[in-house]
């Protein structure tokens, strides 16, 4: 009798261990919010020549992989996103930086501050070149390593420099949209290529959309998000401005789930604020993307 009792006890324990093992292997059930908006994800087509995924064979990043990865999370001591303008900006450009500040605060649901602009004079001749007549460029790595990495504003979680001068990463490259050190949570981007030569009232909205996409994409990397291969998403990699224009400003349902798990905000409140922002600023396509998600969860 005693042997039977011991056998049954061992069998019971083994079954419980098996159940625990099975439970651990099962992915967590998806939050109803993300399950609902998944219907609005637009799957990527086959990449064409010149597209990012045509030349970069990326596997993407699942939500489970993101959860297991090492990435920053906001704390009381590290919870503010900073923008550092570099150069001499026009009135319209300054307006775009104000709108960018407002957008990033809504997008990441974190306090965002724009620091005072610093002069282009901080860049020495050794970190400048003329690509062609009257087209000066700054070495992106110099701005990143010698200026931005040294800045430690209060409670900084991420810092993005914004130059009005075109950037290049190394002598053999023509230009680069931006450069970032994700380990240091610091990046630099240029508005030069976003503005089709000159920012005007006629191209203001298109150029603003580009700035919002590129900035949220780069800072998204700082929070541990990889390039998205799941759907048309602001975290898609891009090889050109035309490809950036084709990409959605919306985070797909998977990437939204990643960011939400990191920053822990109210998803519906964020979505409502984004919809209102796009509506106020006459960004029609972007507004409709947010409205589609809101219509589903209401």
Cβ-proximal residues to 175 (8 Å cutoff; 6+ apart), any chain: 131, 137, 166, 167, 168, 193
β partners of residue 166: 137
Q: Where are the beta strands (DSSP E) in 43-182?
A: 80-86, 111-114, 128-132, 135-139, 156-163, 166-168, 178-181
Contacts 24+ apart (CB under 8 A), 278-283: 281/99, 281/205, 281/208, 282/205, 283/205, 283/208, 283/209
Catalytic annotation on 218? yes
From 38, 164, 172, 218, active-site residue: 218
β partners of residue 135: 132
- Reading the block at residue 296, the tokens are 């589903």
In angstroms, the CA 54 to CA 82 distance is 34
β partners of residue 264: none
Q: How far is CA 1 from CA 5, 170, 278, in A?
A: 6, 80, 75
Task: Provide the angle, in degrees to the nearest 10, between the axes of the packed helices 267-280 and 91-108.
Answer: 160
In angstroms, the CA 144 to CA 161 distance is 8
What values do phi and psi take at 20, rounded to 5? -60, -40
Catalytic residues, by residue number, are 218
């Amino acid at each position: 009798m005693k042997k039977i009792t011991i056998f049954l006890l061992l069998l019971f324990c083994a079954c419980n261990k098996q159940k625990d093992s099975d439970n651990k292997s099962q992915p967590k059930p998806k939050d109803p919010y993300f399950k609902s908006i998944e219907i609005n994800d637009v799957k990527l087509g086959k990449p064409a020549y010149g597209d990012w995924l045509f030349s970069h064979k990326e596997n993407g990043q699942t939500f489970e992989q993101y959860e297991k990865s090492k990435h920053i999370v906001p704390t009381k001591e590290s919870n503010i996103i900073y923008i550092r303008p570099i150069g001499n900006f026009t009135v319209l450009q300054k307006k775009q930086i104000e709108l960018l500040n407002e957008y990033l605060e809504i997008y990441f649901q974190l306090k965002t501050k724009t620091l005072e602009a610093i002069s282009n004079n901080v860049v020495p001749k050794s970190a400048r070149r003329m690509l062609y007549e009257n087209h000066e460029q700054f070495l992106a790595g110099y701005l990143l390593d010698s200026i931005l990495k040294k800045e430690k504003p209060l409670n900084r979680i991420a810092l993005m420099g914004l130059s009005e001068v075109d950037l290049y990463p190394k002598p053999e490259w023509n230009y680069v949209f931006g450069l970032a050190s994700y380990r240091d949570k610091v990046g630099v981007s240029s508005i030069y290529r976003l503005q089709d030569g000159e920012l005007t009232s006629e191209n203001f909205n298109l150029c603003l959309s580009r700035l919002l996409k590129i900035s949220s994409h780069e800072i998204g990397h700082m929070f541990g998000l990889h390039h998205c291969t799941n759907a048309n998403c602001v975290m898609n990699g891009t090889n050109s401005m035309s490809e950036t224009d084709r990409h959605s400003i919306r985070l797909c349902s998977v990437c939204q789930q990643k960011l939400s798990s990191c920053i822990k905000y109210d998803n519906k409140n964020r979505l409502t604020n984004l919809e209102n922002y796009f509506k106020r600023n006459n960004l029609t396509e972007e507004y409709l993307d947010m409205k589609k998600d809101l219509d589903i969860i209401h």
